[in-house]
Structure 1
Amino acid sequence: MADELQMSPQMEQIHGEIKDNFRALANGFQKIDKIKDSNRQGKQLEELTGKMRECKRLIKEFDREIKDEEARNPPEVNRRLNDEKQSLIKELNSYVALRKTYMNTVGNKKLELFDMGAGGSEPTAEENVQVASSMTNQELVDAGHKTMDETDQAIERSKKVVEQTVEVGTQTAVTLKGQTEQMGRIVNDLDTIQFSIKKASQLVKEIGRQVATDKCIMLFLFLIVCGVIAIIIVKIVNPSNKDIRDIPGLAPPAPTRRLLYLGDRVGDFE
């Protein structure tokens, strides 16, 4: 059972001691029926009461170990360990109810009644003696049954708490998984954006270099056009300037003087 529950070595030791005490309690109550002397029966009940106190202490230690290991164990393991703890409590309460039954039949001084319930203060030995003395055998049995019912209810409440804890843990795991996937997508988007920014920067640099080249070409063409225009203007203004060659496609200026000479000759013919 300890291996199936995946207990720590300390928890296995405590669990084993509890089981040993339970076997001793079972054997002890069987022996009471064979004992005829009431004094010996009372001593036997005292020994069994001591073992029940020891079981109660061990169960509390077992519960502390479960809480210490809770953060390191999966939810399913914690649930099974808590179920095992409740099973131990239920078994111990059955011996408590059986002890109450035998206490009513024994005429010796009654000892402290044992109760595993949490929250209230435990009654003193004198108060338990008075209560046990005033109760009938059937009332003691009914009280034991009531204690077992309360224990069953506590077990059910614990199961509900465990189920709610497991459900919350599952929802948390799903939420964390979704957030992890979302973070992964965000990282991928950031990588894509960074790559796009890098490509855009390279493209802007290339466009800048191309624009600078185009400006140089335009400036060079503008200078050529200005030079051509200047040559044309100079040629028109001073056609006799031999330092400037004729521009291809541009006719030389008309010889004004020769036209006048020809005009005079035409007049002579008239």
Structure 2
Amino acid sequence: MASEVEMSAELEQIEGEIRDHFRALANGFQKLDKIKDPNRQTKQLEELTGKMRECKRLIKEFDREIKDEESGNPAEINRQLNEKKQSMIKELNSYVALRKTYTSSLGNKRVELFDMGAGGSDPTVESNIQMASTMSNQELINAGMKTMDETDQAIERSKQVVEQTVEVGTQTAVSLKGQTDQMGRIVNELDTIQFSIKKASQLVKEIGRQVATDKCIMAFLFLIVCGVIAIIIVKIVNPSNKNIRDIPGLAPPAPTSRRLLSVTPMGAFH
């Protein structure tokens, strides 16, 4: 039996969610019989329609999982899984037909075939709008399968767009990482330059202090030389000036007393 087929955890989870929605749909239609207010009936039908849309999405996801696992499963398992999918589609279409019956009883003579993603202006959708009383179960199944195929194509296009978006995001992330690394290197270089400028500033200050000290020494020596030159000039111009001490080596030579020898005339005798 199809219900006893061995399935993966993903398929079991999806089937469980579909079964939960089917139970909710069954309970919802039972409650709908007890509602007498047309407005409340319309609201209840809208809620049930939302659950049917969710069931259709889950059935499409169930079908995609079957296709993904098809290559690794035996042919018998794949056949049973497809039968299970067809069974769920039939059950969903029965709820769709039931919804159309209630909608027709509320005064809607024309109802729209259950469709998730197509717009009302699509010619394909317009061609699928039929009277509920003229559609058999097989026609509902065929129309549902066709709509599911169209939805599957739309989903595949959406997946391609998502993959392209992810690729662009990855490239952007790589580019941002490269720019971040480059900014880190620039910051390190700026820190090195700042340290070099600080050391150079300290060196310039030290050199400035040394130059200032050398200038002071040179000025002091210049004053000493000027003083010595001034004294020399004064001594040369006015050597008799006693107010200026003699500079060693520049004073005039002291007068020497010459000792005269008395010569006694020859032949003189005392």
Which of 61, 66, 69 is the aligned partner of 1:87?
61
Task: Give me the whole-angstrom Cα distance separating, in 1, the residues matched to 2:243 and 2:216.
Answer: 30
Letter in 1 for 2:61: S
Provide the TM-score with structure 1 as the length reference: 0.52
Sort the Cα spacing of 1:86 and 1:219 in 2 relative to 1 into closer, same or farther, 3 A. farther
In structure 1, C-alpha distance between the alignment counterparts of 2:150 and 2:221, rounded to whole Å: 105
Does residue 133 in structure 1 map to residue 166 in structure 2? no
Report the Cα distance in structure 2 between the residues aligned to 1:24 and 1:243, rounded to whole angstroms: 132
Shift in CA distance, 133/227, structure 1 to aligned 2, threshold 3 Å: same
Aligned to 2:248: 248
Q: Per the alignment, do residues 209 and 175 of structure 1 end up closer, same or farther by CA in structure 2, a change over 3 Å counting?
A: same
1:98 matched to 2:98: no
SS at match of 1:128: coil
SS in 2 for 1:174: helix
Cα pair distance change 1:24/1:238, threshold 3 Å = closer
Match of 1:233 in 2: 233
Q: Percent identity?
A: 68
Is 1:178 aligned with 2:181? no
**Deviations 1:56-111, CA, capped at 9 Å, x for gaps:** 35469xx9xxxxxxxxxxxxxxxxxxxx79616979x96786369879xxxxx697
- Distance in 2 separating the partners of 1:114 and 1:95: 17
Distance change >3 Å, CA 100–CA 22, structure 1 → 2: closer
TM-score computed with the length of structure 2 as normaliser = 0.52
Change beyond 3 A, Cα 1:16–1:240? farther
Q: Give the distance between the partners of 1:121 and 1:59, measured in 2 at CA.
A: 24
Q: CA deviation at 1:234?
A: 1.0
Aligned residue for 2:248, secondary structure, equals: coil
Structure-2 separation of matches of 1:100 and 1:56: 7
1:236/1:249 CA distance change after superposition, 3 Å: same
Distance in 2, Cα, partners of 1:250 & 1:59 = 127
Gaps of 5+ in 2: 1-8, 26-44, 66-84, 96-100, 105-110, 258-270
Partners in 1 of 2:201 and 2:209 — Cα distance? 12
Q: Give the letter aligned to residue 213 of structure 1.
A: T
| Contact 1:18-1:59 at 8 Å conserved across structures | yes
Q: C-alpha deviations, 1:157-200, integer Å up to 9, x for none?
A: 12112211211221222122123222222322332232222222
Q: Which residue of 2 aligns with 1:163?
A: 163
For residue 239 of structure 1, what is the amino acid of its counterpart?
A: P
Root-mean-square deviation (CA), in Å?
4.9
Asked whether the equivalents of residues 100 and 141 of structure 1 are also in contact (C-alpha less than 8 Å), the reply is no
Distance, in Å, in 2 between the alignment partners of 1:54 and 1:89 is 20
**Counterparts in 2 of 1:59 and 1:197: CA distance versus 1, 3 Å:** farther
Residue 56 (structure 2) pairs with residue 55 (structure 1) = no
Cα drift, residue 150 of structure 1: 1.0
Sort the Cα spacing of 1:57 and 1:136 in 2 relative to 1 into closer, same or farther, 3 A: closer
Query: Which segments of 5 or more consecutive residues in structure 1 lack a partner in the other structure?
Result: 6-11, 26-48, 64-83, 104-108, 259-270
Partner of 2:39: none
Q: CA deviation at 1:221?
A: 0.7
- Alpha-carbon distance change, 215 to 20 in structure 1, aligned in 2, over 3 angstroms: same
Task: Give the whole-Å Cα distance in 1 for the aligned partners of 2:59 and 2:211.
Answer: 82
Indicate how the Cα distance of structure 1 residues 143 and 96 shifts in structure 2: closer, same or farther if over 3 A, else same: farther
Q: Determine the structure 2 residue equivalent to 1:214.
A: 214
Structure 2 counterpart of 1:78: none
Q: Secondary structure at the match of 2:131?
A: helix
| 1:45 match | none
Q: Counterpart of 1:56 in structure 2: which amino acid?
A: M
Residue 232 of structure 1, CA deviation: 0.7
Q: Higher Cα Rg: structure 1 or 2?
A: 2
